[in-house]
A and B are shown apart, each in its own frame.
Chain A
Amino acid sequence: MKVEFKVNDRKHSIEIEPGELLVETLRRLGYKSVKHACDTASCGACSVQLDGNPVLSCRTFTAAVDGHEIKTVEAFSKEGELSAVQKALVEEGAVQCGFCIPALVVTAEALLNENPNPTEEEIKTYLNGNLCRCTGYVSQNHAIMKAAELRRNSASVPAGNQGELS
């Protein structure tokens, strides 16, 4: 069957197999930041934004995104410049192996769009499905707090618009 959808503002019109999952489609299209890690929808490493909301691409049928917009981590660094979330993650030493990071960025960006001033508890709740085996989460949570503050203080980039492609 044929589906049409946007990934990071780029239109894709492709043939898919019945039952094809979004993670497979995206990786096939070259969006390799979307990771395969658990097969059981329990680790969050395949998270992408679907119309702005984080979803697990390993449990989303590609057919279901027909006519919708997907964002992967590539959407959040414009011309190579990192988003506040990405910058803070690197600066806080919150990126160890980095395998879970693209999905973490995608989910954290969605969180900060919904809630520009989250408490640490709110960060933990929102991102509880994003497993990380390296960091123990401490530095990641701090980085997201820091990114939230950066976004709030940044006059040039209104909160909620960061990362949108022009």
Chain B
Amino acid sequence: MKVPDLGTTLTTSTKFKVVDTSVPKVDGYALVKGKTVFTDDFNIPNALVVKILRSPHAHAIIRFVDASEALALEGVVCVLTHKDVPRVAYTRAGQGYPEPSPYDTFVLDKKVRYVGDAVAIVAAETEEIANRALKLIKVEYEVLPAVLDYEHASDDGMPVIHDEPEISGAYDPSRNIASHYEMHIEDVDKELAKCDVVVEGTYYTPNPSHAMMEPHTAISYFDPNGRLTIISSTQVPYHVRRIIRHIFGVESRVIKPRIGGGFGGKQAIHVEAYVTAVTLKTGRPARCVYTREETMTATNTRHAMRFKVRVGASKDGKLRVIDMDGLSNTGAYGEHALTTFMVAGSKTLPLYNKVKAVRFKGDVVYTNIEPAGAFRGYGAPQSMFALDSALDELAYKLGMDPIDFKLKNSIREGETSPVFRMMGEGREGVEQIIQSCKIEECALAGAKLFNWYEKKKRPKVKGTKARGCGVAFAMQGSSIPAIDMGGATIKMNDDGTFNLMIGATDLGTGSDTILAQIAAEALHTTTDKFIVYSSDTDVTPFDKGAYASSTTYVSGNATKRAAERMAQEILKAASEIMDKPIEELHLEDGKVISESGHSITYSEIQTKLFYSFKQRQLEVTESFVSEVSPPPYMVSFAEVEIDLETGKVDVLNFLSYVDCGTPINPKLARGQVEGATVQGIGMVLYEEHVFDKNGRMVTNDFFTYKIPSRKDVKNIKVEFAKSYEPTGPFGAKSVSEIGLDTPAPAIANAIFDAVGIRVKKLPIKSEDIFFALKNMAKSL
């Protein structure tokens, strides 16, 4: 799969002034002062409080709703049921249009498909009245048998979850299959027969919650001119606007203020449709703030997945086969069903491009639990746990150090993988040749920094504790190529500042800041000269939204293009004002400087252009859509300590060595990896949803659903490889998702190193380790 050298010169020779520095976040001061910047902080006079009546049953037909008692309550303004909202099928997934997710959802339906599914929308003058009204609505359900075990969702005779005639885009709803995918390269069975060593295993990953701190929130109102306006804590304002129009046939303006975390959980339309329905019905502003319980039980989780993996190698350590047979649980609705499953393959398989035969296939099935959706990593953390764990076991059986084995078989600069072309998101992908890949540096420099070889030699057991080390490799992407588009507008002001208008959606990641840094670099000025306005569909240019590791790369390239064109506009204006040819002019520190040493500031230029000279406003808009999706790479090292008496696992050290190209803002980039690592540790060790026998989620708050707290986090280190992606803005690739791909396999591999147990099911609970240790002792 090696391709001829392209002769690309990968240069980092450019000295950056703003990029690759850790300027403070442009919104940092407002946030740290606790300003009113989040959706629920806005005072909208006269706003109704919206609450949702939710299903107590996992699967039922609504026979009859009597809201008369609720409506009779003073202060209740409306109660909407499925009869009162448009019957339009859609997908909640915020994705490029047309979406690869099935249209299997209604604002309200006459059937409920999980405990928590919406039954009715209540709007009242106060929260207390709304809550009382919920209790007064009488609903008669015809309870249906439910599908709760995803491994049997498509068995013969299982109840059909989506039997509505309007459904479209699902693979085989009559068998509860939302999506299906399969691909292969060569014949895996024939190739496996030729392998000297083969490892087989079945791996399970669960359905954790995003658990972002800010619950889902939206407000809607008519502005003074009658334009529907929606303020929402969303990652996808433009998709919200499009989906609202699709459902209600109404044009709207969607504004995303600061949002309190998302991680993919806000890459879907949840609350917006409910407040819109109320505002359209009553003409009044409407506010809906989900409770933590609703955020846990009635939004999205990660897709739980099962992978049956077969990998095989020859004695010399050449990986010959990867065969992954998957099953993904999308829950009651199919948002992101196909695409998360395909990403599970497309963002893992190309890492091992030396392999001869590959197969990746499986179903994504409906069940009667909370729907799964987009969640940081988007399928890759699930499959990388399976693939990397299996490769680790293979290396062990080959008698090779896992670093050597994974390095020997992984991709390098100038190479490609046929998987890039075969697997996109919901369709074929695009060919690409890797122009930046420092996985070798990540592995080798990381091993040194981690003391890998010394640590591996140390005795494992000391008293009642055992220690072990594990390593995991990962890749991700930077945007969905040939689909994701982002725009940027730059307007120059007469005080020498610029308005940077971007559709890109900062969900706490710092994208407003890094985009301002990119613009400042290209315009030879400083970040503080940029006033950033983002994510207002009436003001900013289109952007697909914050997902698919695309903002730095796609929105960053759009911003860079716009800034470069603004630079040309400034030079042209200066040339006219100064009466010098453009070739004799250059930009420096917010000024245009001529060869003869004369200069004019940006402020002076725009002031003249406003009032006295060839009058015009300098403003440019540029867009960017990528033909490729350059993967970031990462190697992580975990050291765990296991209490042999209780099975408790502690992650003592976790080092991630990352190739994300140029980190535009190193401190913010590091924060992305640190945050993802801890979310990963949560997924591996703590976070598990428990359902009762009727499909009700029991773990619906932060008491019963444990996310890592400060004391759970020991020593986490992040280093960046020196890397430069020629197609990225100032050499940058993505960094926000990849950090979630490695914790599971690295920790599982470390547990094996410590106590010889291969854990194949997440989360790894103390009691599982305890009983595995007991069983081991028995069989000795």
Contact = CB atoms under 8 A, between A and B. Distances in A.
B612 interface: no
B479 interface: no
Nearest to A75: B34
Contacts of B259: 97
Contact of B702 (A94, A131, A132): A131
Contact of B710 (A101, A105, A133, A137): A137
A133 B213 contact: yes
A97 B261 contact: yes
Contacts of B31: 95, 97-98, 101
Contacts of A130: 710
Given A43-B702, A74-B33, A96-B509, A139 B711 contact: no
Interface stretch (B20-28, B77-85, B99-107, B551-559): B20-28
Contacts of B707: 131, 133
Contacts of B292: 37-40
Contacts of B29: 82, 90
B256 to A, nearest CB: 12
B293 interface: yes
B32 interface: yes
B289 interface: yes
B702 A93 contact: no
A88 to B, nearest CB: 10
B671 A90 contact: no
Given A39-B292, A39-B293, A137-B678, A73 B25 contact: no
A101 to B, nearest CB: 6
Interface stretch (A49-57, A120-128, A148-156, A157-165): A120-128
B480 to A, nearest CB: 24
A134 B32 contact: no
B674 interface: yes
Contact of A93 (B38, B215, B671): B671
Contacts of B677: 136
B241 interface: no
Contact of A32 (B36, B260, B507, B716): B36
A61 interface: no
B32 A37 contact: no
> How extensive is the interface on chain A, given as a class?
35 or more
A128 B713 CA distance: 10
B28 A97 contact: no
Contacts of B667: 92-93, 139
A62 to B, nearest CB: 15
B25 A93 contact: yes
Contact of B213 (A91, A132, A140): A132
Contacts of B40: 32, 36
B25 A95 contact: yes
Nearest to A72: B34
A82 B29 CA distance: 8
A35 B38 CA distance: 10
Contacts of A137: 674, 678, 710, 713
Contacts of A72: 34
Contacts of B291: 39
A99 B213 contact: yes
Given A127-B710, A138-B674, A101 B34 contact: yes
Interface string B708-746: 111101001000000000000000000000000000000
Given A37-B292, A90-B24, A32 B214 contact: no
> How extensive is the interface on chain B, given as a class?
35 or more
A135 B669 CA distance: 11
A124 B678 CA distance: 15
A72 B36 CA distance: 13
Nearest to A106: B34
A25 interface: no
Q: Is the interface of B mostly helix, strand, loop or mixed?
A: loop
B263 interface: yes
A115 interface: no
Contacts of B195: none
B718 to A, nearest CB: 8
B701 interface: yes
Contact of A90 (B28, B36, B37): B28
Contacts of A73: 32-34
B679 A133 contact: yes
Interface in B469-514: 507-510
A125 B712 CA distance: 10
Contacts of A136: 671, 674-679, 708, 713, 716
A69 to B, nearest CB: 18
Contacts of A42: 701-703
B169 to A, nearest CB: 32
B32 A89 contact: yes
B713 A100 contact: no
Given A96-B508, A97-B261, A98-B260, A131 B289 contact: no
A15 B692 CA distance: 43
B33 A97 contact: no
B343 interface: no
Contacts of B57: none
B41 interface: yes
Contacts of B716: 136, 138
Contacts of B665: 93
A77 B35 CA distance: 11
Nearest to A93: B667
B600 interface: no
Contacts of B509: 96
B270 interface: no
A141 B710 contact: yes
B702 A135 contact: no
15 contacts: A36-B215, A36-B289, A45-B213, A74-B33, A74-B34, A90-B25, A98-B37, A99-B38, A99-B261, A133-B212, A136-B676, A137-B713, A138-B674, A138-B713, A139-B670
Given A100-B213, A131-B702, 10 more contacts: A36-B40, A37-B260, A72-B34, A73-B33, A86-B33, A97-B507, A105-B34, A133-B261, A134-B508, A136-B708
